[in-house]
Amino acid sequence: MKTAIQSRKRVLGISATVLAFLLLVLFLIPTQPYFYLSQQLSPVPKKLSCTTIDLLSAHCSTPHPGKPLIQYAIMIDAGSSGSRVHVYKFNFCQQEPELENEVFHMLEPGLSAYPDDPERAADSLEDLLKVAMETVPESMQSCTPIAVKATAGLRLLGVAKSKLILEAVRQRLETKYPFRVTEVDTMNGKDEGVYAWITVNYLLDNLKGSGYGKSAATFDLGGASTQIVFEPTFIDRSEAMVPGDHVYQLDYAHQRFDLYQHSYLGFGLNEARKRIKQSVVELWQSDLSSLSNHNVYHPCLPENHTETIKYTTEDSTRQIDLIGTGAGHAACRGVIEKIFNKETVCPFNPCAFNGIYQPSLKDTFLHDRDLYVFSYFYDLTQPLGMPLEFSVRELGELSERVCRGDPEAFRHIPNALQAIKQNPDYCLDLTYTHALLRIGYEIPPDRTVRTAKKIRDAETGWCLGASIAMMNDNKLCRK
């Protein structure tokens, strides 16, 4: 994938004077096509659900030669916990696309909630597609690319079931909607992580000029998987990463970035939570046959909290009642650390966890470079009053306060107590996120990380990076 990016300051508003000037230009040059095609588009209808400003750029009136003035792109993120639509508006005032605006909407559950009913899975996207239809001007819809990319949640259903669901979604898009359908597929973890890295560094203006050693690292924690992507730098420039699938060579803006990436399927928050609960049951496995009530005590759950899980072995599946002990952060951490399999033999050193090679962040990613953690990292910390920048140690201290169950620790933070009360897994979840950064990825405790849901009004995550790559496709509009 080769994409050149030049980030520029976005201006979402437009003055009446500038708008009048642009309308005059549009009126005087009626032959200027909105898209660069083999033939010009029909004139824009006078009556549209969108306004005329949606057809114009706030930055220029004339596009770069051979480019459209405005290009929309639609990306649907079919994640494990829900589906989200991102409708992007770009201009081509310069050779590379500049993001002007984003419309975002999400809903639950995701496609994977319908493993045996592909048509219902396709139905679940209708509200998101309605948002896209209302956002993209009618005259541009047939030239607007759309992609649906499923992530780890659908991968866990297996090839056969996920294929049927994606075929139903593609059929729905191609028969009911006017957009140009590009990809409807399951995205591998490698692309998911790298696209998120592109998004964050594009929005931070880290990809222009001499970019070596300036980019931010990204850590994405989804429901089913977690990704790490960063550009390691070595004191001796002749040094390099050990060759392998973890190396991702990326060309951006006439620069090459040698990235380290890895996606850990099964270590997203929802899947990790299941494994952590199962792991305690496994400790009691030899005693389960003698337990008449099948009760198992779990240190990561609040005192006296009870929930039932299914525990499956080779011989049987049984219902197990987990009873919380409220034992605190240290006891919970002792259970969680085991799932990282730090003792697994690694083919090359240094290693992160689960037997996976990873260049040391301490040695190859210096303190003056940013570490961005997002998705569930953001969702768990912000309701509890954490700043957007905090050290790994401070994240551990936050999990300690939650696991203590002391209401006084959060009484001064609006809605924090309610958030903790509504989620009995809060202690487990925070302890896991801290352990993932500190034990898993081995980030030093005093290292500062940043979290964000948006950067410059655009959502973090992989969708923007994937949309920019999608616009490299030179196919004509849908016929």
Helix spans in 343-424 (H) = 361-364, 376-381, 392-404, 416-422
465 assigned to a ligand binding site: no
Amino acid at 104: F
168 assigned to a ligand binding site: no
223 assigned to a ligand binding site: yes
Q: Half-sphere exposure of 260 toward its Cβ, with a 13 Å CA cutoff?
A: 25
225 assigned to a ligand binding site: yes
226 assigned to a ligand binding site: yes
Catalytic residues: 192
- The two three-digit tokens of residue 387, written as one number: 């700043």
- The two three-digit tokens of residue 346, written as one number: 């690694």
CB pairs under 8 A, 24+ apart, for 310-318? 311/278, 311/281, 313/285, 318/288, 318/294
Q: Identify the burial level of 249 via C-beta atoms within 10 angstroms of its C-beta, where 0-12 means exposed, 13-18 middle and 19 or more buried.
A: exposed
CA distance 96 to 417: 46
Helix spans in 60-181 (H) = 118-123, 126-135, 152-155, 159-176
Amino acid at 191: D
Which residues carry a binding-site annotation?
Answer: 223-227
Which residues carry a binding-site annotation for ATP?
Answer: 223-227
